[in-house]
Amino acid sequence: MPSFRAPRGTRDLLPDVRARFGRLEGIARSLADRYGYREMEIPILEQAAVFERGIGEATDVVEKELFRLAPRTEEAESWALRPEATAGIVRAYVQHGMQTLPQPVKLSVLGPMFRYDRPQAGRYRQFWQWDAEAIGDPGPAVDAEVIEMGLRFYVEAGVSDVQVLVNSIGDSACRPAYLGQLKEYFGRHEAELADTDRQRLETNPLRLLDSKDPAMAALIAAAPKISECLCDACSNHFEALLAHLDAVGVPYRVEPTLVRGLDYYARTAFEYYRRGAEGQQQALGGGGRYDGLAELLGGRPTPAIGFALGLDRVLLALEEGGEVRTRPVAPLAVVVGADPADTVTRLRVASLLRAEGLAIRAELAPRKLGRQLEAASRDHAHFAVIIGDELADGHVQLKDLEAGTQRLVALEDLAKDLARAAKSHHHG
Ligand code: HAM
């Protein structure tokens, strides 16, 4: 027999872990409500060109990490699994004419993303993001609002000590001159560059600043800084962003080499890290402004900013901090019966109670009543509903397994009775 396993870099989220994801999703949805973001869905796959154009051909995400789909050969289109949500959201914004709505349009997406990366701790081929985008506002105030919302997510999730690294990477007015300086600088040090970095020197010199090769650290530290090349408009935008961050009390550090791995960014770029973990690859989340993306995808020029927070990494951070609690799920009551064979009645009574919104397990194994009650206790059920001869005149025994008491209850009052008990005991 073959033994099948989940594909490398993917994993099953078993119920305990899925529940932890659910808690994070709940926090994200609550924040989206409070900050005025509306949740939407985009397909898990897009035409590959959405990513190639939007994210950029010469990025790791597109060049190496895109999961391309090979459909029937006669199909002209080619698709890819989404490596992130921003390009798809902006594609949808353009496709559905959302530029005619009051701006900004604030959208939120929760779900899995796919990158064909080398799997390691905190880096998966399928991972989950909370993505939020404010489309149609040039900032800088909204930039600070977005950054603050992301930070609040970590606070409410219970990840302590998160700080924001921010930078401005300029725009089409001032970045070309800076890229020229970078090319010139790294060109002078070409012999010290790894092969991939030497290629990047031609295709995407900004990416050299993001090299995680330890041998590059000193070279990067001495490289020309974008902050010295910003045009007045970008420089003023950045100063105003920092003033807004100060005003809302966001702890940040200006990081002049922060450039992000996707090509659509202009001006504001930011990442969230746990304090002390900034040097590693494990950003908890990141985002930035992408004023040119809508136009690249066939829309009108539209200023926009957003972030994506990596839910897997938030859970890892919580686990490392020992801050994970699993809540056992116990039924409020188990329906048991004196006649082991009468699963029909047990199922019917359970069904009635579930229809009233109660969490009920029906004992469906044909075992003796004593065994059924033992199993109910093992389940940490608060009550056992015991079906016996009393059913003939419409009654059952309701046994409080925690208190050890038992009383007769009319079947028609049972749901109300249990619901009242659930409320006072925080069950159900
Ligand atoms: P990103 O920096 O590529 O940005 O990803 C955002 C976050 O997703 C990362 O900080 C990390 O927490 C998580 N992440 C990325 N790759 C993986 C992986 N292989 N395994 C686990 N977690 C991962 C974006 O995706 C942009 N779309 C953010 C954005 C939104 N910019 C503007 N709007």
Mutate to test the pocket of ligand 1, among 313, 314, 316 (most ligand atoms within 8 A of CB): 313
- Which among 163, 257, 162 is positioned nearest to 209, based on CA atoms? 257
> pLDDT band at 366, cuts 50/70/90?
very high
**Cβ–Cβ under 8 Å, residues 291 and 302:** yes
**Cβ–Cβ under 8 Å, residues 333 and 383:** yes
**Cβ–Cβ under 8 Å, residues 411 and 395:** yes
- Quick one: which atom of ligand 1 is closest to the CA of 86? 27
- This prediction's pTM: 0.92
Output the CA 350–ligand 1 centroid distance in Å.
Answer: 45
Q: How far is the C-alpha of 23 from the C-alpha of 20, rounded, in Å?
A: 5
Residues sharing a CB contact under 8 Å with residue 247, sequence separation 6 or more, in sequence order:
144
Ligand 1 proximity of 117 Cβ (cutoff 6 Å): yes
Q: How far is the C-alpha of 157 from the C-alpha of 27, rounded, in Å?
A: 7
pLDDT of residue 280: 60
pLDDT at 143 over 70: yes
Ligand 1 proximity of 83 Cβ (cutoff 6 Å): no
Ligand 1 proximity of 171 Cβ (cutoff 6 Å): no
pLDDT of residue 300: 96
Q: How far is the C-alpha of 201 from the C-alpha of 187, rounded, in Å?
A: 7
Q: How far does CA 29 lie from the centroid of its chain?
A: 11
Ligand 1 proximity of 287 Cβ (cutoff 6 Å): yes
- Quick one: which atom of ligand 1 is closest to the CA of 313? 12
- Peptide bond before 119: cis, by omega within 30 degrees of 0? no
User: Rounded to the nearest 5°, which phi and psi values hold at 112?
Assistant: -80, 145
Ligand 1 proximity of 306 Cβ (cutoff 6 Å): yes
- Dmax (CA) for the chain in angstroms is 94
- Quick one: which atom of ligand 1 is closest to the CA of 124? 20
Residue nearest to atom 11 of ligand 1 (CA): 310
- Cα radius of gyration (the chain): 28
Residue nearest to atom 21 of ligand 1 (CA): 123
- Which range is most confident: 213-217, 283-287, 422-426? 283-287
- Quick one: which atom of ligand 1 is closest to the CA of 271? 10
> pLDDT band at 331, cuts 50/70/90?
very high
Ligand 1 proximity of 124 Cβ (cutoff 6 Å): yes
Ligand 1 proximity of 313 Cβ (cutoff 6 Å): yes
What topology is assigned to 15-174+230-320 in CATH? BirA Bifunctional Protein; domain 2 (3.30.930)
67-71, 237-241, 422-426: segment of lowest average pLDDT: 422-426
Kindly state the DSSP code that residue 291 receives in the 8-state scheme: T
pLDDT at 281 over 70: no
Q: How far does CA 425 lie from the centroid of its chain?
A: 33
**Cβ–Cβ under 8 Å, residues 115 and 61:** yes
Q: How far is the C-alpha of 270 from the C-alpha of 35, rounded, in Å?
A: 19
**Cβ–Cβ under 8 Å, residues 258 and 167:** yes
**Pairing verdict, β 285-289 and 268-274:** antiparallel
Output the CA 188–ligand 1 centroid distance in Å.
Answer: 32
CA distances from 72 to 68, 114, 138, 222 (A): 13, 21, 42, 50
Output the CA 115–ligand 1 centroid distance in Å.
Answer: 10
Residue found under tokens 């066939």 = 298
CA distances from 167 to 67, 240, 288 (A): 30, 12, 9
Ligand 1 proximity of 46 Cβ (cutoff 6 Å): no
**Pairing verdict, β 333-337 and 360-362:** parallel
Domain spans in the chain, listed from the N-terminal domain onward: 15-174+230-320, 333-424
Ligand 1 proximity of 123 Cβ (cutoff 6 Å): yes
Range 48-72 average pLDDT: 90
User: Rounded to the nearest 5°, which phi and psi values hold at 369?
Assistant: -55, -40
190-204: pLDDT as tens digits: 888 888 888 888 888
> pLDDT band at 426, cuts 50/70/90?
low
**Cβ–Cβ under 8 Å, residues 360 and 419:** no
Output the CA 286–ligand 1 centroid distance in Å.
Answer: 6
Output the CA 129–ligand 1 centroid distance in Å.
Answer: 7
Average pLDDT, the chain: 93
Ligand 1 proximity of 127 Cβ (cutoff 6 Å): yes
> pLDDT band at 428, cuts 50/70/90?
very low
- Quick one: which atom of ligand 1 is closest to the CA of 283? 10
| CATH number of the 333-424 domain | 3.40.50.800
pLDDT at 322 over 90: no
Ligand 1 proximity of 129 Cβ (cutoff 6 Å): yes
